[in-house]
Amino acid sequence: MHTLGSHPGVTGALLLLLSLVGSVSHSSPTGRLPVEEFELANGMRFLLLERPAMPTIEAGWVVGSGAADDPEGSTGISHFIEHMMFKGTRSVGSHEIDRELTTLDRLAKIEEALAEPSPSGRKAARRRSELESEQAELEQQARNLSQLGAFSLEYSRLGATRLNANTAEDLTLYYVTLPAEVVELWFWLESDRLLQPVFREFKKEQQVVAEERRRRVDSTPTGAADLQFDTNFWRGTSYSKSPLGRPADVSQLRRAEVADFFAQQYRPAGLTAVLVGNFDPGRIKRLAQTYFGRLGSQASSAASVGQAAPTNWEPERSRQEALDLTCECPPQVKIRYPTVPFSHPDQHALQLAAGLLNGRSGRLYRQLVLGQEIAFAAFAQQTPLRYAGSFTVTIEAKGGTSAEALLSAWDEEVARLSAEPPTEAELTRVKRRLATESLNQLKDPHLLMRRLLVYAGLGDWSQLADWTEHISTVRPEAVTDVAERYLNSERRLVGSYRRAKAGE
Amino acid sequence: MNRRLALAVMAVAAAGVGVAGEGQSTEVPTPALGGHEIPPHPRQLQFQPSSWSPPRSADSRFDLAGGVNGFLVGDATLPLVDIVVVARAGADRETSDQRGLAQLTAALLRRGGTRDLEPAAFDDRADELGVIMHSQSTPLYGAATLRTTSEALEEGVELLLDMIERPRFDPTRLASIKRNMAEGMTRRNLDPTAVLDREWDWLLYGETHFSTQPLRPSDLERSTSAAVTEFHRRHWRPENLTFAVSGDVDRERLARLVNPRLEAWASRLAAAERFSWPPEPPTGQPRAGLFHVAADIPQAKVALGHRAPPDLPTDEERVRLEVLAEILGGRGAISRLNGRLRSAEGLVYGVELRLDPGDLWPADYRVAFDTLGRNTCLAMSAALEEIERIRSAPPHPEELAVVKRELLARQFQAFDTAEEAVGYLVQDWLVGRSPDYRRRYGALLEQVTPQDVLATARLNLWPEDLTVLIVGPWESSRGNLDAAGVSELERIVGHRVEALPKRDPSTLQPSN
């Protein structure tokens, strides 16, 4: 059993050997994203993008592990760790760290004992009751020893803002905005929470996560239906697990398994940090080495979980499937096809196909919204994940238009897309619009930092810088080709959303 | 009601993780490595103070031809330019038989074509140039936006000026937009959060002010192409416009591009009509009490609060109020409400607090959270206790110091991009805030004392006058009933509950 708060992957022996490995500057062909990249000996990578006019620095790091890595029976564990990472460290968040760790260790042992199948009989029941009493007492004791919110407070007191994190299917992001002059604080706190986190307030946070799920899924118009659709689409693959996890799984998470999972996933070779803003790159490199160089490297040569491709990423579907979904939403159909992952060369043609369909001059708006007036709104999107991808079209019905009529209208658009390449003029218009949108996405430094984290977490940050170049080379025939190959009705899932009838 | 100026130039802020905390941490030694001493605790790190200060409003402000106001913050980081044209052409300019015209006019500007281009040809032309254009409205303003590469700036500006000066208001597009808006009206009860916001506004401001009046089917029927054209002619005029420009362009180039057109446009117009500014404030009396709207969801969506005091605050008072809001329920580490309801009690995912004194008339103060139905009484009690606590004693000096630092840093963050910077400067100018407010902000913040915070809390927070609104399941939210049939929640709030009527989504008239 691991002692909570320790990071089993950290040892001191290798620390003095660490040094920067390679420092290469990658500029995008357009020169718009002059990112400097370097890697520490332990495998942790850094991406630096200077914006000298800014008074702040946007800083974050990504671990290439997310909900798809959650073990069966422990779904939601990646997201729960994300919450736990704000509970402080050995150095930050305790009134008396040794006593607190001893208490937390004992709590973990009690949880393990209570998780064992319980033998019948009065003696066993009494023992169980004793353990539960001790557990309640220790939880209160641990709470008294901890300083709630101390980790966030260290940031706030020096003016850091937007401290937050997100868990997705393939990755988990942690980020913050700092006044430029206090950047060392980020190095201190982030390396510390990777080195020696303490997972405090475990039970309370399970309740918070349950509230988050109710808020995001159960109390929104389409939350539950969307979740059902996603789970069905990815059935049989690791992407069928929602980042929020199943409520029963989250409520039964134990401290020891969370600590184990953290140790397994949060290894330096799976981490990439991004800094955007006003800084001296030389100083940043020194700080990176000093602080993050402390993270143990023994795991860096091993395949980090989330980086080795398992085999079950393709949805198992050989014929069209349909789902009837109830929601508190307008009638709509959602049609999803399996496509290609992030790094696949067809990715850009698929994104261009979505571009042809979207926008005021897009085919969906002109045909379904304005022309036939059967849709209130319609939108297409290619979504790449690390090992798989999907193309989704959502069409909201107008008036009493049936789901069948919407599906039929969509099929006509697919037939058109597959049969005849777009004209050069149409394609050029879409490429120009997408290029401006893409350029705009590089403007906001906070969003840029988060996008770089996502692209790096998926495997290649330079895809962000080079996106416009890739899009510009797509030929009309390539759009037809991907439409024909991937928008295949036999492999799609069709969800028909309708409002629940009374009593349903 | 959207009282905030919804300028498209404002960036979206990510939500922070709000947890409360205080006190010193135990210091545990950490090895020093790599020739750089790592102190055992982050409080031992040494930092230089920042010398940064926001840009001067006067440096960005200039006059364009035709009486148009201009603001420009240049930034050549990317070859991109954003132009937001804000027009004093909001719903306040509508007469009682013109409701919806401001919204329709703004919507149709972008979608209805121009004198020389049919709607579809206009869309194609925008794509050919690679420019992105929108138009929209808020209760007080209309806005038209252009986002373009520097390369296409000239043609993009021409298209933008065509759009705002010579709109076609194509009748076929108008009919289509009206049918879509009518469809949208049928959906207004589907999202419980939208229901909470709508009923909240009506409880606090009444249903008759232009800023809270929803669009109804009869408004659409009255809105003809001729009526939209006339509304545009009267209100989308150069002297009513402000250009907020940011990105890779300088003042001279911009003036060369827009001034000849603006001058010619202004010269063709008859003298402007006079309209009062600011518009009349809402006259509806806020309703204190406990109100409920039934919704079949597992959580109760809760809002509690009241209108702001009748006198608009001075800059000093506004800053004190910001400090109070940050301590009570801000986005950073010091948020007593989040610390209590989320971190300590595990009752909510987050608490949102808005202490908005208003810019043109008193706005409102509101605490909002979602919680599992059966936890509503606990969460409500905790929220009320925190409000009472901040009215009872001054904050700890350390708590105040952290909040000041956070608020000051958020000023930095607000000026991270030229687009955000020009947005704030224009917003201040439109509502008549003192032009040096952003530059004085740090000094004003520094002056706030713990006693100021206490006094501000007592002056502004009125627990005895609360409006409490719950959207969700009543049976599970109300708690136990006593012998007289009074529920626990009613006892906590001090009012018997009043069930608000179900409303027809299109007309929003009571339907039961």
Q: What is the pLDDT of residues A331-370, one digit of tens each?
A: 999 999 999 999 999 999 999 999 999 998 899 999 999 9
Q: What is the pLDDT of residues B404-432, one digit of tens each?
A: 999 998 888 888 899 999 999 999 999 98
B414 contacts: CB under 8 Å, gap ≥ 6? B54, B420, B421, B424
User: What rounded mean pLDDT belongs to chain A?
Assistant: 88
pLDDT at A298 over 60: no
Three-class DSSP labels, A209-224? HHHHHHHHHHCCCCHH
Give the residue from A157, A190, A433 with the most B CB atoms within 10 Å of its CB, the best one to mutate.
A157
| Structural Rg of chain B based on CA atoms | 25
Q: Chain A: residue nearest B372 by CA?
A: A211
Rounded to whole angstroms, how far apart are CA atoms A451 and A441? 9
Counting one residue from chain A and one from chain B, the pairs whose CB atoms sit within 8 A come to 279
In this prediction, the answer to ipTM > 0.95 reads: no
Q: How far is A259 from chain B (nearest CA, A)?
A: 20
Q: Give me the helix-helix angle, B153-165 and B119-129, nearest 10°.
A: 160
Q: How far is A316 from chain B (nearest CA, A)?
A: 33
- Whether residues B179 and A398 touch (CB distance < 8 A) is answered with yes
Q: What is the DSSP letter of A94?
A: B
B485 contacts: CB under 8 Å, gap ≥ 6? none
Q: What is the pLDDT of residues A133-172, one digit of tens each?
A: 999 999 999 999 999 889 999 999 999 999 999 999 999 9
pLDDT for B512: 64
- Tracing tokens 């490429």 back to the chain, one arrives at A431
Say if CB B39 and CB B212 are below 8 A apart. no
* Span A437-454, average pLDDT: 94
pLDDT for A299: 44
DSSP string for residues in B200-243? HHHHHH-S-STTTPPP-HHHHHH--HHHHHHHHHHHS-GGGEEE
* Span A304-325, average pLDDT: 70
Nearest CB among B14, B41, B147 relative to A91 is that of B41
Say if CB A103 and CB A145 are below 8 A apart. yes
Block means of pLDDT (10 residues each) for chain B, 512 residues, are 32 26 31 64 91 86 96 94 97 91 95 96 94 95 96 97 97 92 92 96 95 92 93 96 97 97 95 88 95 92 97 96 96 90 89 96 97 94 98 96 92 87 93 89 96 98 96 95 96 97 94 76
Q: What is the pLDDT of residues B79-91, one digit of tens each?
A: 999 999 999 999 9
Categorize the per-residue pLDDT at A304 as very low, low, confident or very high, splitting at 50, 70 and 90: very low
Nearest CB among B79, B179, B299 relative to A214 is that of B299
**Mean pLDDT: which of A25-39, A125-139, B151-165 is highest?**
B151-165
Categorize the per-residue pLDDT at A503 as very low, low, confident or very high, splitting at 50, 70 and 90: low
Nearest CB among A32, A206, A376 relative to B180 is that of A376
Q: Chain A: residue nearest B40 by CA?
A: A91
Q: What is the DSSP letter of A362?
A: S
Contacts of A203 in chain B (CB under 8 A): 346
Contacts of A329 in chain B (CB under 8 A): 190
DSSP string for residues in A277-333? ES--HHHHHHHHHHHGGGS--TTTTS--TTTS--S--S---SS-EEEEEEESS--EE
- Tracing tokens 């700080």 back to the chain, one arrives at A287
**Adjacency order of strands within the sheet including A389-397:** A321-327, A493-499, A332-338, A389-397, A375-384
Say if CB A112 and CB A225 are below 8 A apart. no
Categorize the per-residue pLDDT at A504 as very low, low, confident or very high, splitting at 50, 70 and 90: low
Query: Residue A451 burial (CB < 10 Å; 0-12/13-18/19+)?
Result: middle
Q: What is the pLDDT of residues A42-58, one digit of tens each?
A: 999 999 999 998 999 99
Give the residue from B9, B19, B352 with the most A CB atoms within 10 Å of its CB, the best one to mutate.
B19
Contacts of B400 in chain A (CB under 8 A): none
Query: Residue B377 burial (CB < 10 Å; 0-12/13-18/19+)?
Result: buried
Contacts of A153 in chain B (CB under 8 A): 21-22, 333-334, 402
* Span A372-387, average pLDDT: 94
- Grouping H, G, I as helix, E, B as strand and the rest as coil, residue A1 is coil
Helix (H) or strand (E) holding B465: none
pLDDT for A360: 86
Determine if the pTM surpasses 0.90.
no
Contacts of B409 in chain A (CB under 8 A): 56, 159-161, 177, 179
Q: Chain A: residue nearest B125 by CA?
A: A429
Cα within 13 Å of Cα(B263), Cβ side: 9
Rounded to whole angstroms, how far apart are CA atoms B190 and A220? 9
Better-scored residue on pLDDT, A297 or A159: A159
Nearest CB among A161, A189, A211 relative to B413 is that of A161
Query: Residue B133 burial (CB < 10 Å; 0-12/13-18/19+)?
Result: buried
In B360-482, DSSP assigns E strands to 364-372, 467-472
Better-scored residue on pLDDT, A303 or A287: A287
pLDDT at A27 over 90: no
pLDDT for B3: 34
Kind of pairing between the strands at A35-40 and A20-26: antiparallel
* Span A374-392, average pLDDT: 95
Rounded to whole angstroms, how far apart are CA atoms B326 and B406? 9
pLDDT for B272: 84
Helix (H) or strand (E) holding A233: helix A223-233
Say if CB A189 and CB A156 are below 8 A apart. no
pLDDT for A32: 61
Categorize the per-residue pLDDT at A86 as very low, low, confident or very high, splitting at 50, 70 and 90: very high
Vertex B218 angle, CA B216 and B224, to 5° = 110
Q: What is the pLDDT of residues A59-73, one digit of tens each?
A: 999 999 999 999 999
